[in-house]
Amino acid sequence: MSATPASRLNPTSKQAALPAAPDTHGRPHVVEIASPTIARAVVAELLLQPDLLSETVRKALTGMEGADRAMATALERMTVWVDLSGILIQGLSLEEKQWRQAALRYCVMRQAHFELLHELFKVSRAELALLRQDLGVVVKTRPKSIPDSAVLNIHAAWERINQKFTERAADLWIALADEFPQYGLNSLYKVIVKEGRDDRD
């Protein structure tokens, strides 16, 4: 009488072990779903791509075709892991585009000149001209004269803002413009960057 292989008696042996669940630690975009409906859709997709399956799994799925009760029981026990990173990246990309457009429009309305806008948003002169026309912004090429007492306050605010915003340079200028609404960004840029040199768009 031949002995039964140990792997058939011990379901925890290496040969009979099922694939481990994916490690989702540190990957919050991977979610676990226990849904027979979703599982059925996954199985249907896998049957269309048999090369993705091991021979054992392929035979098991093929054997259950037409056996509704067996399939239903199996689906109830299935867990599907979904990687949402693609959706996350697409969503972040859309959010970034919306932020860029809003920030660009704000800076144009606050009289930012081409040099600053190109540095922050890589905008072209043609794109800027169309945007100014769309917003009805009249270009002011000469910065407004700012008194020395205000210059000191602007530099102090700039240092404080630089400690608060560290990711996007545009956030710095938007925050500075918000703090000094009486001055256009062309004037504030002259104080911060140009150090008194004449600035023309």
Is the pLDDT score of 26 beyond 60? no
Query: pLDDT: is 14 or 195 the higher one?
Result: 195
Q: What is the pLDDT of residue 3?
A: 41
Q: Which residue has the higher pLDDT, 158 or 96?
A: 158
Asked whether the beta carbons of 121 and 170 are under 8 A apart, the reply is yes
Give a yes or no: residue 10 inside a domain.
Answer: no
- Gap between the Cα atoms of 86 and 83, Å rounded: 8
Highest mean pLDDT among 43-47, 182-186, 196-200: 182-186
Residues 94 and 167 in one domain: yes
Provide the pLDDT confidence category of residue 38 given band limits of 50, 70 and 90: confident
Both 71 and 137 in a single domain?
Answer: no
Four-CA torsion 66, 71, 73, 74, nearest 10 degrees: 150
Model confidence over 12-21: pLDDT tens digits? 444 444 455 5
> What pLDDT band is residue 159 in, cutting at 50, 70 and 90?
very high
Of 67, 83, 99, which residue sits at a domain end? 83
Specify whether 186 is located in the same domain as 105.
Answer: yes
- What pLDDT is attached to residue 20? 53
Q: Are residues 42 and 60 in the same domain?
A: yes
The three-point CA angle 183-189-192 to 5° equals: 110
Residue 201 lies in a domain: no
96 and 166 co-located in one domain: yes
- Write down the mean pLDDT value for the chain: 76
Whether residue 189 sits in one domain with residue 92 = yes
pTM: 0.55
On whether both 121 and 155 belong to a single domain, the answer is yes
**Two tokens, residue 38:** 């979703």
Residue 138, domain member (yes or no): yes
Give the max Cα distance, the chain: 104
Highest mean pLDDT among 73-77, 97-101, 176-180: 176-180
| Confidence at residue 195, expressed as pLDDT on a 0 to 100 scale | 60
Instruction: For residue 9, list its beta bridge partners.
Output: none
- Indicate whether 91 and 186 sit together in one domain: yes
The separation between CA 150 and the C-alpha centre of its own chain, rounded to angstroms, equals 39
Measure the CA–CA gap between 96 and 177, rounded to whole angstroms.
21
Q: Structurally, how many domains does the chain consist of?
A: 2
Greater confidence, 88 or 94?
94
Q: Is residue 110 part of a domain?
A: yes
Give yes or no for residue 123 having a pLDDT over 60. Answer: yes
Residue 129 CB contacts under 8 Å (≥ 6 apart), including other chains: none
| Judgement on whether residues 76 and 153 belong to the same structural domain of the protein | no
**Are 55 and 147 found together in one domain?**
no
- pLDDT of residue 140 exceeding 60, the answer is yes
Task: Indicate if 69 and 139 belong to the same structural domain.
Answer: no
Contacts of 159 (CB under 8 A, 6+ apart): none
Which residues, at least 6 apart from 198, have a Cβ–Cβ distance to it below 8 Å? 142
Tell me the residue range of the domain where 137 lies.
Answer: 87-194
pLDDT at 102: 92
Q: Which positions ≥6 away from 24 have C-beta within 8 Å?
A: 30, 32, 81
Closest CA to 184 of 139, 147, 152, 149: 139
Report CA-CA distances (Å) from 83 to 22, 43, 148: 10, 17, 56
Based on the fold, state whether residues 135 and 151 are members of the same structural domain: yes
- 148 vs 70 pLDDT, higher one: 148
Q: How high is the pLDDT of residue 52?
A: 74
